[in-house]
Each structure stands twice: as C-alpha cells, then as structure tokens.
Amino acid sequence: MAGSIGYAERLSWRDDVGGTLGTPEFQEADDAELQRKIDTLAELIRESRAESGGMVVHTGAGISTSIGIPDFRGPNGVWTAQKRGAPMPEATCTLGTAVPSLTHMALVELRERGYVRYLVSCNVDCLHLRSGFPREDLAELHGNCFAERCERCDAEYVRDFEMQTVGFEYTGRTCDACAEKKRKRESGARRSSRASASRCAAARLRDQVLDWDDALPPEELRRAEKHSKETCLSLVLGSSLQIAPSCDIPLETVKKKKGKKGKLVIVNLQATPKDGKASLLVRARTDVVMAGVMRRLGLRVPEYVRRDRVTVGFRLAAIPEPNGDVSRTLTVRAGSSHGWDNPVPWLERVSVKICGEGDHLDQIASIELLDAQTRARIPQRYDALNDGRYEDRRGRSYEPAFDGNDDREHEPNGDGGPSGPFFEGRLEALNASSFDALLERKKTRVRVELTFAAGVMIRHAEFWTDIGPWSGGVRDLGDHSLIATTQRTHSVITSRRRYEDPVPALRQPQRKKENNPAP
Ligand SMILES: [Zn+2]
C-alpha cells in the first residue's frame, strides 16, 4: 500500500466520486508560447507582491505526480482507474518517504521572499509541511495523513508515520501538551482531598483526514477565503478544480471589489470547470512552469533536507533467577521519538556498539531480541546476532545488530511495512560487577548505526551517544527491579535533494561552439 492509494482505500467506498474523470491531458505544443505564458505569470507574481502582499496559491495532486504519487482524476488517476475497474495506478514511493517536488520547494522560497501570502492545498500527503512551508500560512483543506489533533486543546501533532484512519477517528494516542499542563497543575496545587484533576481522562487525539462527507476545517477555510478575496492573484497548480467548496475559493479573487478584480491563473494539464474565469491558462507540468518562474524572478529552488528523530534508550535491570542468583541485563532500545509504541517507517535496522575501556564488559555473554509486542524472547530468529563483533583492541567492544526487517506482525501499523514499533536488544551479564562498573562511570560512549528503509534517499547514518548519566534508582517492578535508565533523542538527516531544471529546452540557450571551446 503506497502513496495516495493507501489513503484512497481508507476513504469510505463511493461508486461515484463525482466530477469528471480521466479527461485528456494537454501540453502546450509551442515552446515559444509556453515561454511567453511563463513571462506573463512571472510578471503577475511580481505585481501581486507590490499590490497585495503576494499571491494565494491553490495546489492539488498534480504537484506531486512528478515524484511518483498518482493523482485522482487524471487519465491514470486513482478514481479514474476505480471507475474503469482497472488496476490501481502504481505509486513509486510511499507517502512516508516521498520527497517534495520542485514545485513544493519553489513555493517555500516564494513565500520566504514575500511572493506568496497564503497557500491553500487539497493534498493530504504532508509534503508542504515537510518541505518547510510554515503551518500558519497554509490551509490543509482536506487534512493531512500524518497529523493528529487534540480534541481538548486543539494542539496539532505532525508525525513521521501515516495515520491508519480517516474521518477524525481516535488514533489511540493522547495529547502531550494537555498531559504537561495537568502535571504542572497538580504539582503546583496543594495536595488536598479535593484535588480531582488527576482523575480526569487524558486528552485524546484524532486523525485529521476528511472522509467524503466531513466538513472542511472552518478556521482554515475562513482564512483561505479571506486571503483569496484580498489578493490580486490566485494561482492554481495541478488541480482539476472539481471538489466543492475548495474549487470555488480561487474564484473569490476574480469577484469584483471596489471596481477592481483580481486575476486567476490555472496551471493544469487537464481542462477544469473554472477555465472560463482564468485570465491565463498554462497547459504544462507545474515543475516546468515553476522552474521558469523562479528563473525569471532570479530565485533559486532551495535544496530539500529532511531530518528525522530517533530515540535511543538504555535500561539496566536486575532479574532474580530460580536458583537464587540475580542476573543483570542492559536493554537497548531504539524507536520513535513520538513514543515507543509508534512505528518508525523510515528506519530498517539499528546497530549499537558499546565501546568499553577496561574489563567491565567482559562478562557480557549473549544477546537476544525481545518481541516488541509480546515481550517474548525470540532467540532463534536472531542466531546470527550471537556472532556479533567482539573486539579486543583498545578495551572491549561488542556489536549486536537489531534487525527490524522480519516477518513479525506489527500493530497498529500492520501494513506489512518494514518497521517494528521499536528495535530492542538485550545484553545479559553473568556477573553483576560488569554492569556495576558501567553504572559507576559518568558516561560510556556508544556508537549507533542506522540503516534507513527502502525509498529513503540516504541509506545510512551513524552517531555517537553516551549511556548515562543514569537516573531512576532501584525500583521494584515485580518480576525484576529497575536499576537505572537513560534516554536521548537524536536528529539525523535522512534525505537531501537538489533540484535541477526539469526541461533542458528551458535552460539558457547554448553558446555557439567557437565561443565555448571544449575543456
Ligand atoms: Zn491537548
């Protein structure tokens, strides 16, 4: 399940999704004509900054097709295929690993330079936010597959994993902001028998993806309409303008106000029902048009850099054995910075290397993985890990690798993706003194290597982290006692992309051969 297909399958079934489907696509036949149109558009964009603080841009699925996410109503769109009974179009990437298109990144720069005052999108793929477009200047009218919102305080959480529901269902997670407020309230208030705050339920989060009959988010809709009224230019990029009320918002710009009316420009391969209202129609791919606009405005399309976060935690415990001995274990866990129970779809494998000086790691005898769900030991599947590198150069080191790419079923994401909820490895000591020695140190250096899932642009990252300083003290947890824990969240760069001009014909004309001697 990938790209927009997964999202489409989660929507309620509709035989007839409305609007027209699969109408033919056109491209400007005459390149000179296309260039003139881009000249005109660039000029209108310049004027909009001077006259009304920038344009309003309205984006649809057409701005994401160049990166491998199918649209809905194009000749190869999701709804078009459904109506024909044809196989669903192939997505070449998942929404979780998709990289913003040139158009997404151009819009970030245009907003930075004051050419865009507001962005209205019907896309749910999170790519505007991932590209770095500020949330306060963006209306996500149909929601976002990666966002969830608190029903009590309205705080929005944007995740690195896709929601599994649509239609504002509970996601099973609760609001950190509300929990923090509650904690402060409780620690501030004198403990009295009247304090009942602790008994009120945690604030629950809901997904933020509209199903067919859901109402658009009212505040974002209001802002989209207000900005569209106030600007002198609305630019539609890659939308067939068929879903009401979103498709009517750009028309606010061309309604007459105080004797003046603004302009509408539509860049789309298919004809739209609003073409008659547009003062300029461009039949070309949005990346081609936006690359041309950027060049004319003397701007560069910024590089895309994605950072993801992973939490690495260590936990030292004492477990009583049947024979009366007590064994010590060090558990290493790498997982979602959004909480241990969440999937990490961009991460495939974690390997941790503890570099010790002296003999405190001498007694580490074995490693095994715990099943993330059942907590059962699953040693056989990971026999190879017992061959983990054990070096004896400068002190001792031991390198277990935790491979999450197995065939366990991972709920709640359960879509067969490569990620477990988290990666966990356990080091066991035959001798308690080895870990006591660990505890005595202020910190021990640990090297963490990450392998990213298929589709993520950068495949590896590694960093050093410290185990310690430890905290927790000894706590009796029934079958074992917790001695100490330490945990830290790390930010890693997982994707990086530069944007080349997509059409050679649009580059500067080549110099004549005699002026351009071969190197
Ligand atoms: Zn809240």
- Same domain (yes/no): 352, 430: yes
Give residue 417 CA to ligand 1 midpoint distance, Å.
30
495, 459 contact by CB (below 8 A): no
In a domain, 170, yes or no: no
What pLDDT, on a 0 to 100 scale, did the predictor assign at position 425? 63
What pLDDT, on a 0 to 100 scale, did the predictor assign at position 71? 82
- Same domain (yes/no): 114, 233: yes
- The DSSP bridge partners found for residue 446 are 354, 465
In a domain, 231, yes or no: yes
- Same domain (yes/no): 461, 312: yes
- Same domain (yes/no): 18, 129: yes
Provide the pLDDT confidence category of residue 9 given band limits of 50, 70 and 90: confident
What pLDDT, on a 0 to 100 scale, did the predictor assign at position 441? 65
Boundary-marking domain end, from 302, 331, 366: 302
The secondary structure of 59-77 as a DSSP string is E-GGGTGGGT---SSSTT-
149, two tokens: 């919102």
What pLDDT, on a 0 to 100 scale, did the predictor assign at position 243? 86
480, two tokens: 């074992």
Q: d(Cα 403, Cα 424) in Å, to the nearest integer?
A: 9
Is pLDDT above 60 for 97? yes
Which helix (H) or strand (E) element contains residue 319? strand 304-320
219, two tokens: 């505040």
Provide the pLDDT confidence category of residue 514 given band limits of 50, 70 and 90: very low
Grouping H, G, I as helix, E, B as strand and the rest as coil, residue 174 is strand
DSSP state of 83: H
What pLDDT, on a 0 to 100 scale, did the predictor assign at position 442? 64
233, 45 contact by CB (below 8 A): yes
Query: Quick one: average pLDDT of 65-86?
Result: 83
Nearest by Cα to 462 from 447, 476, 475: 447
CB within 8 A of 331, min separation 6: which ones?
314, 315, 316, 317, 370, 424, 425, 426, 427
Give residue 173 CA to ligand 1 midpoint distance, Å.
11
326, two tokens: 């007590």
CB within 8 A of 353, min separation 6: which ones?
389, 397, 398, 399, 446, 447, 448, 449
User: Token match 């992973």: residue?
Assistant: 310
What pLDDT, on a 0 to 100 scale, did the predictor assign at position 470? 72
Is pLDDT above 70 for 426? no
Provide the pLDDT confidence category of residue 22 given band limits of 50, 70 and 90: confident
What pLDDT, on a 0 to 100 scale, did the predictor assign at position 135? 97
Nearest by Cα to 453 from 413, 499, 489: 413
Residue 330: C-alpha distances to residues 318, 319, 352, 426 (Å): 9, 11, 12, 6
Boundary-marking domain end, from 248, 272, 302: 302
- Same domain (yes/no): 385, 466: yes
197, two tokens: 């705050």
The CATH number of whichever domain residue 46 belongs to comes to: 3.40.50.1220
Which helix (H) or strand (E) element contains residue 178? helix 176-188
In a domain, 334, yes or no: yes
Chain mean pLDDT for the chain: 78
Our CA dihedral for 80, 81, 83, 87, rounded to 10 degrees, sits at: 180
Boundary-marking domain end, from 274, 302, 330: 302
Give residue 121 CA to ligand 1 midpoint distance, Å.
25
- Same domain (yes/no): 391, 266: no
Give residue 124 CA to ligand 1 midpoint distance, Å.
22
The count of C-alpha atoms lying within 13 angstroms of the C-alpha of 26, restricted to the half-sphere facing its C-beta, is 12
- Same domain (yes/no): 339, 297: no
- Same domain (yes/no): 259, 110: yes
What share of the chain in percent tops pLDDT 90?
A: 42
Q: d(Cα 45, Cα 47) in Å, to the nearest integer?
A: 5
The residue with greater pLDDT, 136 or 349, is 136
270, two tokens: 């298919």
Q: How far apart are the first and last CA of the chain?
A: 49
In a domain, 232, yes or no: yes
Give residue 116 CA to ligand 1 midpoint distance, Å.
31
Residue 444: C-alpha distances to residues 357, 416, 432, 433, 469 (Å): 9, 36, 17, 16, 9
Query: Quick one: average pLDDT of 8-30?
Result: 81
In a domain, 508, yes or no: no
> pTM for the complete prediction?
0.81
Grouping H, G, I as helix, E, B as strand and the rest as coil, residue 507 is coil
Contacts 24+ apart (CB under 8 A), 476-483: 477/317, 479/319, 479/320, 480/317, 480/318, 480/319, 480/320, 481/317, 481/318, 482/315, 482/316, 482/317, 483/316, 483/317, 483/318, 483/328, 483/435, 483/439
How many residues appear in the chain? 519
Give residue 97 CA to ligand 1 midpoint distance, Å.
28
What pLDDT, on a 0 to 100 scale, did the predictor assign at position 357? 46
228, two tokens: 């569209």
- Same domain (yes/no): 272, 311: no
Per residue in 324-377, pLDDT (tens digit) is: 777 677 777 778 899 887 888 888 777 776 654 443 443 333 333 343 344 444
The secondary structure of 249-279 as a DSSP string is GGGGGGS-BTTB--EEEEE-SS--TTGGG-S
Q: According to DSSP H, which parts of 344-389 are helical? A: none
Give residue 220 CA to ligand 1 midpoint distance, Å.
19
- Same domain (yes/no): 288, 426: no
507, 501 contact by CB (below 8 A): yes
Residue 490 annotated in active site: no
- Same domain (yes/no): 289, 401: no
- Same domain (yes/no): 250, 361: no
What pLDDT, on a 0 to 100 scale, did the predictor assign at position 194? 53
**128, 142, 338, 410: which is the annotated catalytic residue?**
142
User: Comparing 103-112, 227-236, 250-259, 475-484, which segment has the lowest mean pLDDT?
Assistant: 475-484
In a domain, 356, yes or no: yes
**Total number of domains in the chain:** 2
What share of the chain in percent tops pLDDT 70?
A: 73
Query: Quick one: average pLDDT of 178-199?
Result: 70
Strands (E), 407-468: 422-429, 444-452, 460-467
The residue segments making up the domain with residue 233 are 3-142+210-302
